[in-house]
Structure 1
């Protein structure tokens, strides 16, 4: 049975730190750009977890904006409303990692279905992947927005299988985010962790991915053996 690969989007296909260059232009202290980008991303995920646990779902873009406001306050960077609107627009046009398209093309040429699976709304993810020139290399986009829950809730992985009409053992979650990998594995899916940074730690929960690779072309090599 051929596997179906469901790729996380933010941080796996799309480089969320790609906003750093624009932050360097917008912040009065450009040296804070790297820390700002990192904290913005961390808070974005934290807010998605909190909204999901509270049963107070909002679209992922709202989590992103809330995290932007918090980070601005925490680092005292003094962004204007125009700055924030501009940075949100930049976040909607982030670049893909360079290994994404070559790996997807190889996998699809081998007959392996590749879908995007994201916390973002379907509209937002379609636009993001289109601008990053990735959308045409995917078979579909699946968004958690349909069930108003965020990863890593078990319901989102069950919804993924329902949409794809696949069995757990043939459904792979591919992500650079350990929480996503652990959530999918806990829900009975197969999982691949994309360890894009050699010093990135994995959560010590006693749940390990089925595969760990440094980038997507290595994933394609392993899947096509």
Structure 2
């Protein structure tokens, strides 16, 4: 894909699964989970997202820390694990996830090029503050935006509008990066310049084939793609 002619005003990132490794919490306690570790982590993430979608569809809300706890409880129960201490340790680890190795260099390069950087996340404010501090990303971000004031989760349009309001610009002036295909689709429908971070890689889904969304395999590709 050729570079975009004009760099965006800001580059906005999803947090969980994009800048932060959502499977790092289980990885730290994998020995205690044994052979079930990967399955527990996958189900935990799947239920976390599913519950956020159901709440928004029903017009209800529970903050993301509570949703994360609820989802973990189901994931552990599904695998026959009843260990309160382990559950508490996993939740604590989730608040201090590892950043992906390409996160800090990409944020640094964008800011040096004069592009503002931000997070737009389902996480509630205290959860996000702890996460970005622990990952060492706080000094590299101009804003950390949470859905919490809206009491509504992605991919609702009002969530993406938080970014245009923060940077006082139009959707096409913002580059948006997410490792979640459903989030990339929602952001593209809103009008952002979307870059779907497909690390695995995974097949295209959530109607991403119908919208303008670039595919990238690493955040290292961003500075060139954004015309810096």
Cα distance, 1:47 vs structure 2:
0.5
Instruction: Decide which of 200, 203, 215 is 1:201's aligned counterpart.
Output: 203
Q: Deviations over 1:16-51 (max 9, x none)?
A: 111232332332xx0110111111111100011011
> What is the distance in 1 between the residues matched to 2:200 and 2:219?
13
- 1:25 is matched with which residue? 31
Instruction: Decide which of 96, 113, 126 is 1:123's aligned counterpart.
Output: 126
My pick for the range that moved more, 131-140 or 200-209, is: 200-209
**5 Å matches for 1:178-217?**
178-198=181-201, 200-203=202-205, 205=207, 206-217=209-220
> What is the distance in 1 between the residues matched to 2:178 and 2:128?
16
TM-aligned CA distance change 1:25 to 1:209, over 3 Å: farther
Contact 2:185 / 2:206 at 8 angstroms: preserved in 1? Answer: no
- 1:101 is matched with which residue? 104
> What is the distance in 2 between the residues matched to 1:209 and 1:87?
37
> What is the distance in 2 between the residues matched to 1:31 and 1:209?
40
Q: Does 1:15 align with 2:15?
A: no
Q: Deviations over 1:182-225 (max 9, x none)?
A: 00111122211011112x12215243343111111111221135
> How many residues were matched structurally?
221
Q: Does 1:61 align with 2:65?
A: yes
Q: Deviations over 1:121-165 (max 9, x none)?
A: 122111101111011111111111111110001111122211221
RMSD: 1.4
Unaligned stretches of 5+ in structure 1? none
> What is the distance in 2 between the residues matched to 1:70 and 1:13?
25
**If the length of structure 1 is used for normalisation, what is the TM-score?**
0.93
Unaligned stretches of 5+ in structure 2? 1-5
Query: Which SS does the other structure have where 2:76 is aligned?
Result: helix
- 1:46 is matched with which residue? 50
Flag as ranges the 4+ runs of structure 1 deviating above 4 A: none
Contact 2:12 / 2:118 at 8 angstroms: preserved in 1? Answer: yes
Cα distance, 1:82 vs structure 2:
2.1
- 1:161 is matched with which residue? 164
- 1:6 is matched with which residue? 12
**If the length of structure 2 is used for normalisation, what is the TM-score?**
0.92
> What is the distance in 1 between the residues matched to 2:87 and 2:81?
11
> What is the distance in 1 between the residues matched to 2:227 and 2:7?
10
> What is the distance in 1 between the residues matched to 2:63 and 2:90?
17
